[in-house]
Structure 1
Amino acid sequence: MPRSLSIGEFARLTHVSVRTLRRYHEAGLLVPDDVDEHTGYHYYAAAQIPTAQVIHRLRELDVPLATVRRILDASATDTRSELVSEHLHRLEAELDRTRAAVRSLRRLLAPEPAPVEVEVRSVPRTTVAAVEDDVELDDVLGWYAGAMAELDATLGDPRGTPGGVYDNALFELGRGHVLVHRPCVEPPTRGRVHPVELPAVELAVATHVGDHDDIDVTYGEVGAWVVANALSVAGPVRETYVLGPRDTDDPAQWRTEIGWPVFAVTDLGES
């Protein structure tokens, strides 16, 4: 009969500290093979070594205790793999958000940030095929993907630079009107797709380079330029997707034009 391992021996073999093993016991994740009723000493079986190491790896990945227990209790390998994969996907999403935040901070904290290039551009009245709705700010990306897919499916030929019009309330209140569009000579009315006439407008335009994780920084830079040049924002912001996910999988190649509708501020001090 194989001998039992003391908690100290088990800790050395698994590289899991005695304190951590006691926590696993308290949480019901790894119960000792035997506990001496007189001394209270904990003893483990050699067969428990892989279990201890699996738990330790999962906890290093910040898998919640409840999920660790579900993984250990799952009898099917596929179920275990699915539970681990779900958590890894969440970790990857969190890592992407962390990387995006780091990029934004580096850009904001640069000692001499590159000046944004802004031009004032006259945009004529334009008829487009559009999908529009009131959307929560947190849901914009998902809604945009669905709306653009519907436009592409309805219009067929993917040529023509798409764009979006974003109501000020979206940013101020967290919910607002969003319209995405594609140029079209005779826009159809089908499903959510319908013709819309975008009014002529003067835009202060700058190009955001890369993915949209730090697009708010470019928004801020354009806004600062508008203020510095004695202009005022006069309507919903427009975005033009010169190059985006529909064109390339490389976010570094993406180019998004941000256009603030503007007008000159009258100097009331002048007679």
Structure 2
Amino acid sequence: MAIGDFSRATFLSVKTLRHYHRVGLLVPAQVDADTGYRWYTTDQIPTAQVIRRFRDLNMPLDDIRAVLQAPDLHTRNELISAHLTSLEQNLARTQSAVASLRDLLGRPSAAAPVSHRRVGATMAAAVTAVIAMSDLVPWYSGALAELHATLDARGMRAAGPAGGIFAGELFTDERGDATVFVPTATEVPRLGRVEPVVVPAAELAVIEHPGSLADVDRAYGTLAAYVASHELPLDGPIREYYLVGRQDTADEKEWRTEICWPIFSTGAAA
């Protein structure tokens, strides 16, 4: 079949078929050495239809190639199942975002109370890295799990809720320093990414965010507006304290997170 006929038979454009040839995903049965014209067989129609359906499900070309080249049915099914799981997770995130937006539009939240706190220097076990904002959630989850696993392996207990410290550049430039820490009563020996640190003392304006971190930006906005109106903000990193988090329960509705903005307290509001 000429490429035009194959295009009509498979609903794949000529441009797409040429691209699939270049990347080695769907190679023509024959290519004219003089003209470069591509020819396909009718046996390739089912393969093209499978590729088209996988692309409709946003499967990357490399993953489709892996499925087509799978050595056995079990491997093929595992690859397809992994992509379906990814689709389900994306769908869950979309549904969560839609619900959050409907809630924001239909029922603007009342201003949560803001408190003041002076915290002293705290010894902690920590993981620190320069990360991209898009990687924050998976990095935070992995770092926190590693911290708790390290403390468990050494027979040490947390001396308070876990927390995070995030540089301003992480928000403004979408890349910056991030630290996740767990307070400890004694200094933890360095192991892998885990190292001992002293979380510095600070004066903070604090707001508590209940539930999933998917809409934690609403708490950030409320806190920022309060600080801008009532406090002298400092150019320092934002802190979070995870009073109840993924290490405690899988039910996101039970999570409670404190957002802490560094301030210079004048004493009046405090």
TM-score (norm 2): 0.69
CA RMSD of aligned residues (A): 3.4
Say whether 1:155 aligns with 2:156: no
Match for residue 256 of structure 2? 255
User: Shift of residue 150 of structure 1?
Assistant: 2.7
Say whether 1:78 aligns with 2:79: no
The DSSP-based 3-state class of the residue aligned with 1:249 is: coil
How many angstroms apart in 1 are the aligned matches of 2:164 and 2:78? 37
Larger Rg, first or second structure (1 or 2): 1
How many angstroms apart in 2 are the aligned matches of 1:193 and 1:158? 15
Instruction: Check whether the contact 2:125–2:184 (CA below 8 A) recurs between aligned residues.
Output: yes
How has the CA–CA distance of structure 1 residues 121 and 75 changed in structure 2, closer, same or farther, with 3 Å as cutoff? closer
Match for residue 23 of structure 2? none
How has the CA–CA distance of structure 1 residues 98 and 23 changed in structure 2, closer, same or farther, with 3 Å as cutoff? farther
Q: Count residues with an aligned counterpart.
A: 225
How many angstroms apart in 1 are the aligned matches of 2:107 and 2:136? 32
Show CA shifts across 1:165-224 (max 9, x none). 111111111111111111112112322333222222111111111121111221111111
Q: Unpaired runs of 5+ in structure 1?
A: 1-21, 30-47, 266-271
Say whether 1:110 aligns with 2:95: no
Say whether 1:62 aligns with 2:57: yes
Show CA shifts across 1:68-118 (max 9, x none). 798688784324423421331231132122123213322432354222221
Which of 81, 94, 111 in structure 2 is aligned with 1:98? 94
Match for residue 185 of structure 1? 185
Show CA shifts across 1:143-165 (max 9, x none). 22332233223322454311111
- Identity across aligned pairs (percent)? 41
How many angstroms apart in 1 are the aligned matches of 2:111 and 2:60? 48
Equivalent residues in 2 for 1:119-130 (5 A)? 119-130=115-126
The DSSP-based 3-state class of the residue aligned with 2:203 is: strand
How many angstroms apart in 2 are the aligned matches of 1:132 and 1:228? 32
Instruction: Check whether the contact 1:135–1:178 (CA below 8 A) recurs between aligned residues.
Output: yes
Match for residue 169 of structure 1? 169
Letter in 2 for 1:177: D
How has the CA–CA distance of structure 1 residues 65 and 205 changed in structure 2, closer, same or farther, with 3 Å as cutoff? closer
Letter in 1 for 2:114: V
Q: Unpaired runs of 5+ in structure 2?
A: 1-6, 18-25, 27-44
How many angstroms apart in 1 are the aligned matches of 2:67 and 2:120? 60
Match for residue 224 of structure 1? 225
Match for residue 31 of structure 2? none
User: Shift of residue 120 of structure 1?
Assistant: 1.3
How has the CA–CA distance of structure 1 residues 68 and 138 changed in structure 2, closer, same or farther, with 3 Å as cutoff? closer
Equivalent residues in 2 for 1:128-139 (5 A)? 128-139=124-135
TM-score (norm 1): 0.69
User: Shift of residue 65 of structure 1?
Assistant: 10
How has the CA–CA distance of structure 1 residues 23 and 87 changed in structure 2, closer, same or farther, with 3 Å as cutoff? farther
The DSSP-based 3-state class of the residue aligned with 2:216 is: helix
How many angstroms apart in 2 are the aligned matches of 1:164 and 1:94? 26
